C-alpha cells in the first residue's frame, strides 16, 4: 500500500509543517552577534522530511557487512524510535536482499505508515552481465520485484545509474508511467550529469537526485549538478555524507590494507596508497573543529550537509551510531563555523577517484 505521506513525521507523531526549511535562529555572544542554524526538516517535492535519513546499503553489502535480520533489527528499531524515517535501499544491494530485509522488518513491526522508503533499479543484477540498463522493460520488471520484496510500493524509485545507450525518452517515460500507475509516488535519478537531469526533467518531473556529497567530497558543486537541481526544484539526496566512513571519531582503519576482502573501499583509489594518508588529513582538520564545538566528527559533518539544504542518508550497522547521527540535529552551526567548515572543505580537496575504474565509468552520464 502506498504510504499516505502528506505530512512530516516528528519522533513518532505526524505533524503538518509549513513548506520551508525548518530553521532555528538565535543570537549568541561570540565575539559579536551572529546567526545560528540547526536544520531538522527539509523540503522534498510537496512534503517535508526529517533529516538525516538512513542509507540501508551497508547492512547487506559493499562495506564488508552482511547482517542477518536479527542483527539488523535493533538498528532499524532505533531508527523508527528516533523518527529517522527517510530510508534508502536498492535492488543492487545484494541482489534484492536489502529490500527484503527492510520489507520483513516493516511487515513484522507494522510501520509502513511511519516510513518514506526509496529504492532503485537500473542494474541488471539478475542477468549474466550485471550491466547498467535503463530499458522500459527492465524498469517495469524490476519495480514488480521491488514491490514483492518490500511488501509495498516504494515512495521514491530511482534509476541507479544512467545507461547512455537507452534514450531518456524511453527510460524517463517508463518511470513516469510507474508514477502515474501508483507504483511509486516520486521518481528520481542517481549520479547523473547536469545535462541529463535537465533533459529528463523536461520529459517528466524529476522529484529527486541522489549523488555523493559530504565535507569529504564536493565534486557536484563544480560539475553543475547541484546548481541544476536547485534551479529545477529537484531535491538533492546525499549518499555517503560521512565520506564512506572517514568522517567519524573512531575510523578503525590505520592503513589501506586493513579493509576486509569484501569491503568496496579496498578497490577505491581515494582509499589506496598514499591517497589514504593524504585524505586522512582532511578528517583531522574537521575533528579539530568538532572538538571545539563539543560534538562528534559525524555530527558536525551531517549538520553541515543539512545546512547546504541536502537530505543526508548516512548508513550504519550499530544502533548507537544511529543515535549519534540523529543527534546531529542538535548541532547548531554559527555562521563563523559554517565558514570555517567551508574553508576546510575548499582547501583540503581529497585525492583519488571516487570509485574503482569500472564503477567510475558508470557515473556522470
Q: Express each pLDDT in 299-309 by its tens digit.
A: 999 999 999 99
Residue 52: asked if its preceding bond is cis (omega within 30°), the reply is yes
Does pLDDT of 162 surpass 60?
yes
Q: How many CB atoms lie within 10 A of CB 337?
A: 22
* pLDDT tens digits, 195-217: 999 999 999 999 999 999 999 89
> For residue 34, is pLDDT > 50?
no
Strand order in the sheet with 27-30: 27-30, 32-37, 333-334
| C-alpha distances in Å from residue 49, one per residue of 69, 92, 313 | 26, 25, 12
- Round the average pLDDT of the chain to a whole number and report it: 86
Confidence of residue 38 (pLDDT cuts 50, 70, 90): low
In 3-state terms, what secondary structure has residue 223? coil
Using CA atoms, how far apart are residues 72 and 51, in angstroms rounded to an integer? 21
Assess whether pLDDT exceeds 80 at residue 1. no
Query: pTM of this prediction?
Result: 0.86
Which of the four pLDDT bands, split at 50, 70 and 90, describes residue 29?
A: very low
Backbone angles phi, psi at 93, to 5 degrees: -80, 95
Q: Is the pLDDT of residue 191 over 50?
A: yes
d(CA 254, CA 21): 39
pLDDT of residue 16: 28
Residue range 91-123, pLDDT digits in tens: 999 999 999 999 999 999 999 999 999 999 999
Catalytic residues: 93
Whole-number Å distance between alpha carbons of 221 and 347: 14
Under a CB-based contact definition with an 8 Å cutoff, are residues 324 and 296 in contact? yes
Burial bucket for residue 10 (CB in 10 Å: 0-12, 13-18, 19+): middle
pLDDT band of 64, cuts 50, 70, 90: low
pLDDT for position 359: 66
Contacts of 170 by beta carbon, 8 Å cutoff, 6+ apart: 134, 135, 136
Q: Which residue has the higher pLDDT, 253 or 81?
A: 81
- Res 11 pLDDT > 70: no
What lies within 8 Å, CB to CB, of 4 at 6+ separation is 113
**Edge-to-edge strands, sheet with 22-23:** 22-23, 39-44, 47-50
Q: What is the structure's pLDDT at 26?
A: 27
The domains located in the chain, with CATH, are 27-360 (3.20.20.100)
Give me the mean pLDDT over the 51-71 stretch: 88
Residue among 168, 147, 32 at smallest CA distance from 99? 147
CA distances in angstroms from 188 to 112, 185, 253, listed in the order given: 21, 10, 34
**Residue 27 pLDDT > 70, yes or no?**
no
Cell numbers given for 114: 511511519
Amino acid at each position: 500500500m502506498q504510504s499516505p505521506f502528506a505530512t512530516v513525521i516528528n519522533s513518532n507523531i505526524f505533524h503538518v509543517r509549513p513548506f520551508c526549511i525548518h530553521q532555528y535562529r538565535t543570537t549568541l555572544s561570540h565575539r559579536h552577534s551572529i546567526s545560528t542554524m540547526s536544520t531538522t526538516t527539509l523540503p522534498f517535492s510537496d512534503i517535508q522530511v526529517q533529516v538525516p535519513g538512513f542509507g540501508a546499503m551497508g547492512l547487506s553489502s559493499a562495506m564488508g557487512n552482511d547482517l542477518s535480520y536479527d542483527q539488523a533489527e535493533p538498528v532499524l528499531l532505533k531508527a523508527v524510535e528516533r523518527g529517522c524515517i527517510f530510508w534508502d535501499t536498492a535492488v543492487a544491494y545484494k541482489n534484492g536482499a536489502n529490500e527484503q530485509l527492510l520489507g520483513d522488518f516493516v511487515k513484522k513491526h507494522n510501520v509502513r505508515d511511519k516510513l518514506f522508503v526509496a529504492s532503485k533499479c537500473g542494474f541488471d543484477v539478475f542477468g549474466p552481465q550485471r550491466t547498467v540498463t535503463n530499458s522500459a522493460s527492465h524498469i517495469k520488471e524490476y519495480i514488480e520485484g521491488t514491490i514483492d520484496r518490500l511488501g509495498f510500493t516504494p515512495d521514491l524509485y530511482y534509476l541507479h545509474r544512467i545507461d547512455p545507450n537507452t534514450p531518456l525518452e524511453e527510460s524517463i517515460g517508463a518511470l513516469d508511467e510507474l508514477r502515474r500507475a501508483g507504483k511509486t509516488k516520486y521518481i528520481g535519478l542517481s549520479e547523473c550529469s547536469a545535462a541529463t537531469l535537465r533533459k529528463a526533467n523536461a520529459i517528466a518531473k524529476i522529484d529527486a537526485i541522489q549523488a555523493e556529497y559530504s565535507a569529504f567530497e564536493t565534486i557536484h558543486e563544480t560539475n553543475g549538478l547541484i546548481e541544476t537541481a536547485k534551479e529545477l526544484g529537484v531535491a538533492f539526496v546525499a549518499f555517503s555524507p560521512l565520506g564512506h566512513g572517514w568522517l567519524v571519531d573512531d575510523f578503525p582503519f590505520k592503513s589501506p590494507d586493513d579493509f576486509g576482502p569484501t569491503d568496496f573501499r579496498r578497490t577505491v583509489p581515494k582509499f589506496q596508497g598514499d591517497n589514504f594518508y593524504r585524505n586522512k588529513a582532511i578528517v583531522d582538520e574537521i575533528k579539530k573543529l568538532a572538538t571545539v564545538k563539543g560534538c562528534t566528527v559525524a555530527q558536525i559533518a551531517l549538520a553541515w550537509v543539512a545546512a547546504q539544504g541536502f537530505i543526508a542518508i548516512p548508513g550504519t550497522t550499530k544502533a548507537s551510531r544511529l543515535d549519534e547521527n540523529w543527534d546531529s540535529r542538535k548541532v547548531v552551526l554559527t555562521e563563523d563555523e559554517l565558514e570555517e567548515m567551508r574553508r576546510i572543505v575548499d582547501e583540503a580537496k581529497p585525492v583519488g577517484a571516487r570509485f574503482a575504474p569500472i564503477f567510475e565509468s558508470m557515473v556522470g552520464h
